[in-house]
Amino acid sequence: MTGIIVDSCCDISKEFAEKNKIGIVPFKIYIDGVEYVDNDKLDKNNFLEKMKASKNPIRTSCPSPFEFKEKILEMEEDELIIITISKQLSGTYNAAKVGMEEAQKENPNKKIHILDSLSAAAGEVSLLYSFLQWKDKFDFETLVEKLEERVKELKTFFILERFDNLVKNGRMKKVTGILAGALNIRPIMQGVKGEIEVFQINRGFKKSLINLAKSFGNISHDFQDKILFITESNDVKKAELFKEKVKELYNFKDIIILEAKGLSTTYADDGGIVIAF
């Protein structure tokens, strides 16, 4: 049997992880010098308050090679898949690779494949669900091939309500952030080969939601076997609105709303959503 390890940008609950025997290696987030570990003990309300109140950059730290090594050796399965956030966004993939090599020195019987999701948040969950669907149907090598193909097919989009963290972290100029907020500009962003690009620019979050839903018809024509995942950051009503609009237009097999964990909240900021299928 093949086991699975994910980083904490994969937005699943503690209960879901325990039920499916999923190993999780957490990110760490720093706000004004205070460390927040992205696990089930994180007080999200307090975290959001501190994040919004801070005038300083919000720093994140990926799991260390040692943490990956320890989690690998802790897992009972000799075959393991590790799903990480896009290596274009974080050093997590490289940390997992070093951790894997160190773990295999102690246990050479461990067969491990590290899967660069080229995505984050809802995108990682989408890959996790594919793993859970296939893990008992295929041998390890076939499972790896199918997951790598799934990565190539995966579509990831996100819409931000606030630009504070982008400005504080230097990824958006302050004047641009102020103008975007004042003009109610809410761009739709997309993941392209693991990096973030602008997909469409709209005025108003609701308009971006509706236009993104409509655009799915130009991206794919077969939805009946697909599951749509929506990570929401402190605003489930937006996710529910998007879900209802998508249900009006397409016949997805299922639409699952996820609550953003710490790292996804840092990326999406307060009120943002991440969408993947």
Confidence class of residue 183 from pLDDT cuts 50, 70 and 90? low
> 132 and 10 share a domain?
yes
pLDDT in tens, 63-122: 999 999 999 999 999 999 999 999 999 999 999 999 999 999 999 999 999 999 999 999
pLDDT at 146: 98
pLDDT in tens, 206-255: 999 999 999 999 998 889 999 999 999 999 999 999 999 999 999 999 99
Mark which of 152, 176, 208 sits at the end of a domain: 152
Q: Which residues partner with 192 through β-bridges?
A: 195
pLDDT above 80 for 165: no
Rounded to an integer, what distance in angstroms lies between the CA atom of residue 235 and that of residue 237?
A: 5
Please report, in angstroms and rounded to a whole number, the separation of the first and last CA atoms in the chain.
Answer: 26
> How many domains in the chain?
2
> 92 and 186 share a domain?
no
- The token duo for 258 is 């996820």
Structural domain span for residue 222: 156-276
pLDDT at 32: 96
Count of alpha carbons within 13 angstroms of residue 132, beta-carbon side? 14
Rounded to an integer, what distance in angstroms lies between the CA atom of residue 230 and that of residue 125?
A: 10
Rounded to an integer, what distance in angstroms lies between the CA atom of residue 4 and that of residue 22?
A: 6
Mark which of 103, 120, 152 sits at the end of a domain: 152
CATH of the domain at 93: 3.40.50.10170
Closest Cα partner for 154 from 86, 87, 97?
86
> 22 and 81 share a domain?
yes
Count of alpha carbons within 13 angstroms of residue 133, beta-carbon side? 12
Q: Which residues partner with 258 through β-bridges?
A: 231
- The token duo for 251 is 């016949």
DSSP secondary structure of 199-215: EE--BSHHHHHHHHHHH
> 7 and 136 share a domain?
yes
> 239 and 255 share a domain?
yes
> 180 and 53 share a domain?
no
